[in-house]
Structure 1
Amino acid sequence: MTAGTTPPAAPEIVLSVRGLTIELPTGMERRHAVEDVSFDLHRGQILCVVGESGSGKSVTASTMLGLLPKAMKTSAGSIKLEEREIVGMGAEALRSLRGRVVSMIFQDPLSALNPLMTVGAQIDEVMASHGVGTRVSRKERAMELLIEVGLPEPELMYHQYPFRLSGGQRQRVMIAMALALEPAILIADEPTTALDVTTQAQILKLIRDIQRRKGMSVMFITHDFGVVAEIADSVVVMEKGHVVEQCSAAQVLKAPTHPYTQRLIAAVPHLRSGNRVQDGTATTEPVLQVKNLVKTYASGSVFFGTRRVVPAVQDVSFNVARGSTLGVVGESGSGKSSLGRLLIKLMAADSGQILFEGQDMAALSESEFRAIRPKIQMIFQDPFASLNPRMTVGTILTVGPIAHGMPAGQAREEARAMLTLVGLDPGAFGRYPHEFSGGQRQRIGIARALMFKPKLLVADEAVSALDVSIQAQILELLDRIQRETGVSMIFITHDLRVASQICDDIVVMHKGKIVEQGPPSQIFTNARSAYTRELVAAIPGESARAPEPEPAEVV
């Protein structure tokens, strides 16, 4: 710096957290949800707070809006929003800040939006609660916001209910509500975790563009370093309630110093260009053959002119070889989950064949299919919703086999062995689902599916909502189980990075149709379909990376 020049001004701090400590209820696995946490958010910047479930990310964000559960309490520290002290502030004062000074985008928009109110009414409510504008002016502002967040047909969208929208559209509605009063600070709590890659890319671009245009400060909570690479200016890494590293995004991505940060980055799945290495368990013999499968959803009334027909699965055909994994990828609404439900006969196909070991399951009645059902099992996306909260893990694992004729003693013995196989302590047998973490619950779901010794597993978004480190563990577990048991898998996912790690062949679906099918080496490096190329280009954090090579296939 030359003599006489003015040093650049330090960036203005809009959010300052100092020594924040929040106590957990007595009897929890640790004493504090967060302990002695300190960091700053500067005006006009995006700060990413990264860590696994239980690291304290969401608790910290909830405290800033006065949304901390009553069972927790702030025992020490300070949170200042534009010089206003939040800790100890009264409920009325906090309410006046929410939406106007600081707003939040929640992880699950379907549960955060009121199912009984239209989209327009919910955006209007944000403004009306602060006494802003008239009914007419608020509607005009809501329409502007719907256009700004990229929702189609805003006039129609204004009168829609949340359940009629896709996941990406609901997330855009949440963003519109958060922006209604143009807050200085936007907190985004895992807003893209369960979205497909193209929708995720759109939401990230939308948040980044709005932040730059309005000069907002954004605190973005995530467990995905791919997202960090896309949007972050600075990063705070949290582990078990403590800040273990904070620096610029470039520094943490290129030269992380803390072992926990290094482990998190190492666990992020990256796109592999090669094919999966075979160990001899897979064969070319098909265990499942799907031929010309069709399923159409119809709703509304012809008489009232509201009839709506959606072709969910259109003329879909593929084979699954014994001992191999077929990936089914595509955006939300592409027909992936509908296909999975058809394959295990949770709903009936309109036409086509599903040949399992040569027998057409599509033509079987429910009573005829009952004998085959144990051979085809499903791992669901949300293990907490799919596990009965009133049953112990032992009952969950044994009730099905016992119903199919297995002696109770044998079922209990095999259940304990299965818990060990999936990496859980046999002592988990007598505990309930709520006593386990998300990754542990997913292991229970896998154990339940394997209790029948199935020949085919259908995994529907089985790792989409898990932390990257837990995700890596579950993928490794599925790979090991397949190599040990020879089970075939259909792996439904919107994350192409995950598909490249575990799949032998990949089917790409778009609007109910298969647009491309082939090995990972073709799909990810030499795609024939423009849609597939768009999916690959949308993967967060991969634009600057070359796909990871894979060892030559072993025959």
Structure 2
Amino acid sequence: MKREDISMAASMKAVASDDVALSVRDLTVSLPEGMERAHAVERISFDLMRGQILCTIGESGSGKSITANAIMGLLPRVIRVASGSIHLNGMNIIGLPPEKLRSLRGRVVSMIFQDPLSALNPLMTVGEQIDETMAAHGVGTRNTRRSRTLELLTEVGLPDPQVMYHQYPFRLSGGQRQRVMIAMALALEPTILIADEPTTALDVTTQAQILRLIRDIQRRKGMSVLFITHDFGVVAEIADTVVVMEKGRIVEQGSAQHVLKSPSHPYTRRLIAAVPHLTGQDRNPVVSDASAPILKVEGLVKTYRSGTALLGTQRIVPAVNGVSFDLPAGRTLGIVGESGSGKSSLGRLLIKLLENDGGAILFEGRDIAGLSEAGFRRVRPQIQMIFQDPFASLNPRSTVGHIMTVGPVAHGMSYAQAREEARALLAHVGLDAGAFGRYPHEFSGGQRQRIGIARALMFKPKLLIADEAVSALDVSIQAQILKLLDQIQRETGVSLIFITHDLRVASQICDEIAVMQKGRIVERGPPSQIFLDPQSAYTRQLVAAIPGEQPRRESSVSGCGERNS
């Protein structure tokens, strides 16, 4: 498709300016010299109509968030708008002085950021932060702002607003923090709301709640919403129109139904094809000669305690409550459930990053639960973990080569051998030879996750624990990582515990799935049972909450579904 054909100015019918809340025309944003391309976005044009939801979709690096930040006037100094215009309510905001842009933020256009924990001030209570938003624009008195804050907390569905007002962000769940961000964004009743990947790291039920909340607020207040996502399931759930971006350019746009059902550009078709679906088919298992399970967990318990009984502030949370299961050699067990169900705590117990309060963890028949750190040190190379956030788990001051070799060298391997094996593994996970001498920040999210997998394989482990290893990745990169894990398992026979909140992903890679709720396993079985014939009401609730899709026995490449109205 030619770029000239993509331009909105040439391809879309003219619309009355009163019907357009946001108009972007021929916008080009330049990147600093030395980057992989000259422009973050290049000559993009689109309209956001009043009272509608426009979804911008594309892989990491496609320019989605840069476009949103340009609209908000939040581009970093090293990135500048080279040409084009952005009209908010008919006014071009390109070149406006900072004080004028500040007056528009929150009042005319507001933004929900991707990571609410990073966007919220950890030293201020929820109430203070929403109050500050209104106070910065000179709205109301302290008492009226407090009343408005409590009203907003109620509107976004947070429990007990009077208590929530005084809570700090770290005390809230991911879904609750995202609701606080939505409340802040709505404080001044803007006409345009920008949501940048607001549901990426949330479990399916919380994601469904947030999507429903945004849609309901948009309809009730007649707002226009620019929704940025990489999940076509989300697009099917809420979008009126869709803009597809690739490497800074718009390659396709149109109504949600047209783009989902009849995509015209090969890139759009690839993105839709990469979306995992509930196939309803069980995985062809890896053949193993071992008869005994490699891992057997019996009655595992972990309880978190905070506060003191003396002051009446003690809080007891049973994170893992009597969990039992076994894992045959060469098989993959999926652990699924909502945030707070105990999935990640279970994973950390298995690798002894947490000490358990009871139960047994039998690895190759030996109970490792009671081992001291020194005793477990000899076992640790056989049990490795792939972490959720590869950037946070990789030392930013070390090269990839050092990150991969330091562990094996500490366990007695010569540096020459470790270096040779590290280079071979990097090639095996699809990275070039130069990756060995580069730093983590020089890689994309998908590449960093490949580094995390290669590092875990340096010890030739018998058990891999993957904790939300693909949750924040684009669907195409996600599909590559899942294929890589399947390939590695079939080549090495490694056993895998795959922790995820995305049931579609679990159906692709797991031989068996355990569903956790409030620290307990409430159902366990093959994907065909869990997704097509769930026995637990909780499992049925999880399956029903998957955006844009209901379980079926046959998958469809482009069957993302109609928008729910």
Task: Write the distance in 2 (CA, Å) between the matches of 1:134 and 1:501.
Answer: 54
Structure 2 letter corresponding to 1:123: I
Counterparts of 1:108-507 in structure 2, within 5 Å, are 108-281=115-288, 285-507=292-514
Q: CA deviation at 1:285?
A: 3.0
Contact 1:281/1:483 (<8 A) preserved: no
Task: Write the distance in 2 (CA, Å) between the matches of 1:10 and 1:388.
Answer: 51
Equivalent residue, structure 2, for 1:546? 552
Contact 1:326/1:503 (<8 A) preserved: yes
Task: Write the distance in 2 (CA, Å) between the matches of 1:165 and 1:256.
Answer: 40
Q: CA deviation at 1:304?
A: 1.1
Q: CA deviation at 1:284?
A: 5.4
Runs of 4 or more, structure 1, over 6 Å off, are: 8-11
Task: Write the distance in 2 (CA, Å) between the matches of 1:84 and 1:427.
Answer: 48
Task: Write the distance in 1 (CA, Å) between the matches of 2:349 and 2:288.
Answer: 27
Q: CA deviation at 1:426?
A: 1.8
RMSD: 1.3
Structure 1 letter corresponding to 2:312: G
SS of residue in 2 equivalent to 1:286: coil
Q: CA deviation at 1:279?
A: 4.5
Task: Write the distance in 2 (CA, Å) between the matches of 1:448 and 1:279.
Answer: 23
Contact 1:274/1:549 (<8 A) preserved: no
Equivalent residue, structure 2, for 1:38? 45
Q: CA deviation at 1:280?
A: 2.2
Equivalent residue, structure 1, for 2:94? 87
Task: Write the distance in 2 (CA, Å) between the matches of 1:65 and 1:282.
Answer: 59
Task: Write the distance in 2 (CA, Å) between the matches of 1:284 and 1:468.
Answer: 36
Q: CA deviation at 1:433?
A: 0.6
Residues 387-408 of structure 1 deviation map (CA, whole Å, 9 limit, x = unaligned)? 0011111111100000000111
Q: CA deviation at 1:155?
A: 0.3
Structure 1 letter corresponding to 2:214: I
1:99 aligns with 2:106: yes
Contact 1:53/1:467 (<8 A) preserved: yes
SS of residue in 2 equivalent to 1:314: strand
Equivalent residue, structure 1, for 2:563? none
Task: Write the distance in 1 (CA, Å) between the matches of 2:178 and 2:267.
Answer: 30
Task: Write the distance in 2 (CA, Å) between the matches of 1:479 and 1:365.
Answer: 33
When the two structures are aligned, how many residues end up with a matched partner? 542
Contact 1:11/1:42 (<8 A) preserved: no
Residues 52-80 of structure 1 deviation map (CA, whole Å, 9 limit, x = unaligned)? 00000000000111100100011100000
SS of residue in 1 equivalent to 2:317: strand
Task: Write the distance in 2 (CA, Å) between the matches of 1:546 and 1:329.
Answer: 19
Taking structure 2 as the reference length, the TM-score comes to: 0.95
Residues 340-394 of structure 1 deviation map (CA, whole Å, 9 limit, x = unaligned)? 0000000110000000000000011111110000000000000000000111111
Contact 2:286/2:330 (<8 A) preserved: no
Contact 1:235/1:252 (<8 A) preserved: yes
Task: Write the distance in 2 (CA, Å) between the matches of 1:334 and 1:278.
Answer: 27
Task: Write the distance in 1 (CA, Å) between the matches of 2:250 and 2:290.
Answer: 49
Contact 2:286/2:493 (<8 A) preserved: no
Q: CA deviation at 1:546?
A: 2.8
Task: Write the distance in 2 (CA, Å) between the matches of 1:220 and 1:25.
Answer: 27
Structure 2 letter corresponding to 1:201: A
Q: CA deviation at 1:547?
A: 4.3
Q: CA deviation at 1:211?
A: 0.2
Task: Write the distance in 2 (CA, Å) between the matches of 1:11 and 1:497.
Answer: 41
Structure 2 letter corresponding to 1:228: V
SS of residue in 1 equivalent to 2:402: helix
SS of residue in 2 equivalent to 1:362: coil
Contact 1:443/1:474 (<8 A) preserved: yes
SS of residue in 2 equivalent to 1:458: strand
1:13 aligns with 2:20: yes
Q: CA deviation at 1:330?
A: 0.2
Q: CA deviation at 1:548?
A: 3.2
Task: Write the distance in 2 (CA, Å) between the matches of 1:85 and 1:141.
Answer: 31
Q: CA deviation at 1:9?
A: 7.8
Task: Write the distance in 2 (CA, Å) between the matches of 1:446 and 1:12.
Answer: 49
Task: Write the distance in 2 (CA, Å) between the matches of 1:285 and 1:213.
Answer: 58
Contact 1:167/1:195 (<8 A) preserved: yes
Q: CA deviation at 1:303?
A: 1.4
Residues 192, 547 of structure 1: CA spacing in aligned structure 2 closer, same or farther, 3 A cutoff? farther
Equivalent residue, structure 1, for 2:68? 61
Q: CA deviation at 1:301?
A: 1.2
Contact 2:532/2:552 (<8 A) preserved: no
Task: Write the distance in 2 (CA, Å) between the matches of 1:67 and 1:465.
Answer: 23
Residues 265-297 of structure 1 deviation map (CA, whole Å, 9 limit, x = unaligned)? 000111121100125248653100000000000
Equivalent residue, structure 2, for 1:530? 537
Q: CA deviation at 1:542?
A: 0.4
Residues 13, 549 of structure 1: CA spacing in aligned structure 2 closer, same or farther, 3 A cutoff? closer
Contact 2:383/2:462 (<8 A) preserved: yes
Task: Write the distance in 2 (CA, Å) between the matches of 1:378 and 1:451.
Answer: 12
Contact 1:282/1:324 (<8 A) preserved: no
Structure 2 letter corresponding to 1:316: V
Task: Write the distance in 2 (CA, Å) between the matches of 1:382 and 1:279.
Answer: 28
Residues 294-315 of structure 1 deviation map (CA, whole Å, 9 limit, x = unaligned)? 0000000111110100000000
Task: Write the distance in 2 (CA, Å) between the matches of 1:166 and 1:230.
Answer: 23
